[in-house]
Chain A
Amino acid sequence: MTVQIHDGTRWQTVCTLADLQPGRGVAVLLPEAGQVALFRDRAGTLYAVDNLDPFSGAPVLARGLLGSRGDRPTLISPMYKQVYDLTDGRCLDEDTAPDGAPAVLRRWPVRVASEEAAA
Chain B
Amino acid sequence: MTTRPHDRIRDLVLVGHGMVGQRFLEAWAEQPAARAWRVTVLAEEPRPAYDRVHLSSLFSGSTAEDLTLCPAGFLAEHGIDLRLDDPATAVDRDRRLVRTRSGTEVRYDALVLATGSVPFVPPVPGTDAPGCHVYRTIEDVDAIRADAETAGTGVVVGGGLLGLEAAGALRAGGLDTHVVEFAPRLMAVQVDDGGGATLRRKIEDLGVTVHTSAGASGVLTGPDGRVRGLALSDGRELAADLVVFSAGVRARDQLARDCGLPVGRRGGVVVDAHCRTEDPAVLAIGECAQAADGRVYGLVAPGYQMAETAARTLAELDGERSGPAGEGFTGADTSTKLKLLGVDVASFGDPHGTADGALDVLYSDSRSGVYRKLVIGADGALLGGVLVGDTEGYGTLRPLAVGGKPLTVAPEQLVLPAGFAGAAGPVALPDDAVLCSCHNVTQGAVRAAVRDQGCDSVAAVKKCTRAGTGCGSCLKQLGTVVTEELEAAGVSTVKGLCEHFAHTRAELYEIVRVTGLTSFTELLTRHGSGGEGCEVCKPTVASILASLGNGHILDGEQGALQDSNDHFLANLQRNGSYSVVPRVPGGEITPEGLITIGEIARDHGLYTKITGGQRIDMFGATVDQLPVIWSKLVKAGFESGHAYGKSLRTVKSCVGETWCRFGVQDSTTLAIELELRYRGLRSPHKLKAAVSGCARECAEAQSKDFGIIATSAGWNLYVGGNGGMTPRHADLLAADLDRETLIRTIDRYLMFYIRTADRLERTSVWLERLEGGLDHLRAVVLDDSLGIAAELDDMMARHIGGYRDEWAETLADPERLRRFASFVNAPGAPDPAVTFVPERGQIRPARPGEAGRTLDSPVLVAGARLEVLTP
Q: Is B234 an interface residue (CB 8 A)?
A: no
Chain A residues whose C-beta falls within 8 Å of the C-beta of B574 in the assembled complex: 56, 58, 79
Residue A6 CB within 8 A of the other chain: no
Q: Take A60-B576, A67-B538 as given contacts and tell me if A14 and B831 are in contact as well, using a CB distance cutoff of 8 Å.
A: no
Q: A23-B561, A29-B829, A58-B574 are in contact. Are A69 and B534 (CB under 8 A)?
A: yes
- A42 at the binding interface (Cβ < 8 Å): yes
| Set of chain B residues within 8 Å of A79, measured between Cβ atoms | 572, 574
Expressed in whole angstroms, the minimum distance between the Cβ of A11 and any Cβ of chain B is: 13
A104 within 8 A of B: no
A94 to B499, CA, bound (A): 20
**Interface residue? A78 (CB, 8 A):** yes
28 contacts between A and B (CB under 8 A): A21-B819, A24-B559, A24-B560, A26-B821, A28-B825, A29-B825, A57-B848, A58-B574, A58-B576, A58-B834, A60-B576, A63-B564, A63-B568, A63-B623, A65-B534, A65-B535, A65-B563, A67-B532, A67-B534, A67-B538, A68-B531, A69-B534, A74-B532, A76-B535, A78-B563, A81-B535, A93-B462, A94-B469
Residue pair A59, B576 in contact (C-beta under 8 Å): yes
Q: Which B residues are CB-close (under 8 A) to A24?
A: 559-560, 567, 819
* Residue A89 CB within 8 A of the other chain: no
Q: Chain B residues near A76: list those with CB within 8 A.
A: 534-535
Q: Interface residue count for A (Cβ, 8 Å)?
A: 42
B469 partner residues in chain A, CB cutoff 8 A = 80, 93-94
- 0 or 1 for each of A78-105: is its CB under 8 Å from B? (1 = yes): 1111010000000011110000000000
How far is B539's CA from A64's CA once the two chains are assembled, in angstroms?
A: 12
* Chain A residues near B534 (CB-CB < 8 A): 65, 67-69, 74, 76, 83
Within the complex, the shortest CB–CB distance from B17 to chain A, in Å, comes to 54
CB of B575 closer than 8 Å to a CB of A: yes
Q: Is A66 an interface residue (CB 8 A)?
A: yes
| Assembly CA distance A35 to B826 (angstroms) | 11
Partner of B823, one of A28, A83, A93: A28
Assuming the contacts A21-B560, A67-B535, asked whether A27 and B824 have C-beta atoms less than 8 A apart, the reply is yes
Listed residue (A29, A65, A81, A93) with the most chain B CB atoms within 10 angstroms of its CB: A65
Instruction: Determine if B833 is an interface residue (Cβ-Cβ < 8 Å).
Output: yes
Q: How far is the CB of B522 from chain A (nearest CB, A)?
A: 12
Q: How far is the CA of A53 from the CA of B539 in the complex (A)?
A: 21
A35 touches B559 (CB 8 A): no
Given A12-B825, A28-B825, 10 new contacts (CB under 8 A): A15-B825, A24-B559, A27-B823, A42-B521, A57-B848, A67-B538, A74-B534, A81-B472, A81-B535, A93-B462
Size of B's binding interface in residues, CB under 8 A: 42
| A73:B532 contact, CB within 8 angstroms | yes
Contact A95 B535 (CB under 8 A): no
Within residues 8 to 28 of chain A, which ones have a CB less than 8 A from any CB in chain B? 12, 14-15, 19, 21-24, 26-28
Q: Is the CB of A93 within 8 A of B572?
A: no
Complex CA gap A41/B298 in Å reads 70
Whether the pair B459, A92 counts as a contact (CB closer than 8 A) is yes
Judged by a CB distance under 8 angstroms, whether B822 is at the interface is yes
**Assembly CA distance A94 to B531 (angstroms):** 23
Q: Which residue of B lies closest to A38 (CB)?
A: B824
Question: How distant is A75 from chain B, measured CB to nearest CB, in Å?
Answer: 10
What's the nearest-Cβ distance from chain B to residue A55, in Å?
A: 9
B463 interface residue, CB < 8 Å from A? yes
Partner of A94, one of B463, B564, B565: B463
Given the complex of chains A and B, what is the CA–CA distance between A57 and B848 in angstroms?
A: 8
CA distance A70 to B499 in the complex (A): 8
A64–B574 Cα distance when bound, in Å, is: 14
Smallest Cβ-Cβ distance to B498: which chain A residue: A67
Do A29 and B567 have beta carbons less than 8 Å apart?
A: no
Give the nearest-CB partner of B536 in chain A.
Answer: A67
B533 at the interface (CB under 8 A from A): yes
Given contacts A65-B534, A65-B538, contact A95 B463 (CB under 8 A): yes
Alpha-carbon distance between A70 and B532 when the two chains are bound, in angstroms? 10
Chain B min CB distance to A7 (Å): 11
Bitwise, B120-139 to A at CB < 8 A (1) or not (0) is: 00000000000000000000
A4 → B minimal CB distance (Å): 11
B793-832 contacts to A (CB < 8 Å)? 818-819, 821-826, 829, 831
